[in-house]
Amino acid sequence: MKKLPSAEADAASQPALPVLKPATQIDFFARLQVVKARYLHDALKETIGDATFNLRTLDDELASFADAAGLKRLASFHLRGETFFPVPYLLRRNAYLLGYYRLLYGFSCKAFYGQGPFKRFQRMEDAGLMDLRVAPSLPALCSSLCATGAMLVEAIKGVSLGTVFELQLLTLGPQFKGGGNVKVGQSAIDTFFALLKSLLSPYNPKVKGRQLTFANDSRLNVVVRVASDPM
């Protein structure tokens, strides 16, 4: 019988290592495909490429809202101004694109919308809808975001579409990770609630959402609520 070299023999005697499933990356990739069509450069390109889109209107508004030095710098890299600067006409055509600029500028949903002055615009990104009450504030929104975009353009040494995508991914990563953690937490809560309902089954509790109501051994009504946040 052929004798294995000592190194091969040592390797053969070692226990096999577990195979790790790249679940986070698989989920990230699937969600990224959805986001690309709505918030990333593909969405911007498709909006501008529409046959009814007026490029002259876009250029006129860029000249009014965007920083001239920033536009010139982008042009030196063969990029159009809307790559970094939003204008009212563009957001009216596709309200989802507010998410494009939020991701590019590096703000999480919580940091950007939260309870501050930008919260009223959240439906634009979430549902692609512009409330009639916020429409008059669109120029102010674009002026603010264009100022942020000017700072970003000035700070980046080499600007390209690849840079834009990388910056947006840097914002998406924690956002996707946070969403995944929420799913794990909700699953744990559901599991706990099912266990609690099983343990209380002798009392025939009434179930409403994540609330159990039953009469205890002393005939007193008891209400048990299960939630992720204190109530």
pLDDT tens digits, residue range 12-60? 678 899 999 998 888 888 888 888 889 999 999 999 999 999 999 999 9
pLDDT tens profile 77-91: 999 999 999 999 999
> For residues 129 and 123, is the Cβ–Cβ distance under 8 A?
yes
How many residues in the chain? Answer: 231
Alpha-helix runs per DSSP H in 39-160: 41-49, 55-65, 68-76, 88-93, 98-105, 109-112, 122-127, 138-155
Mean pLDDT of 175-193: 53
Q: How many CA atoms lie within 13 A of 101 on its CB side?
A: 32
> pTM for the whole thing?
0.71
User: Residue 29 has what pLDDT?
Assistant: 87
Is the pLDDT assigned to residue 189 strictly greater than 70? no
The domain ranges of the chain are 24-181, 200-231
Share of the chain above pLDDT 90, in %: 59
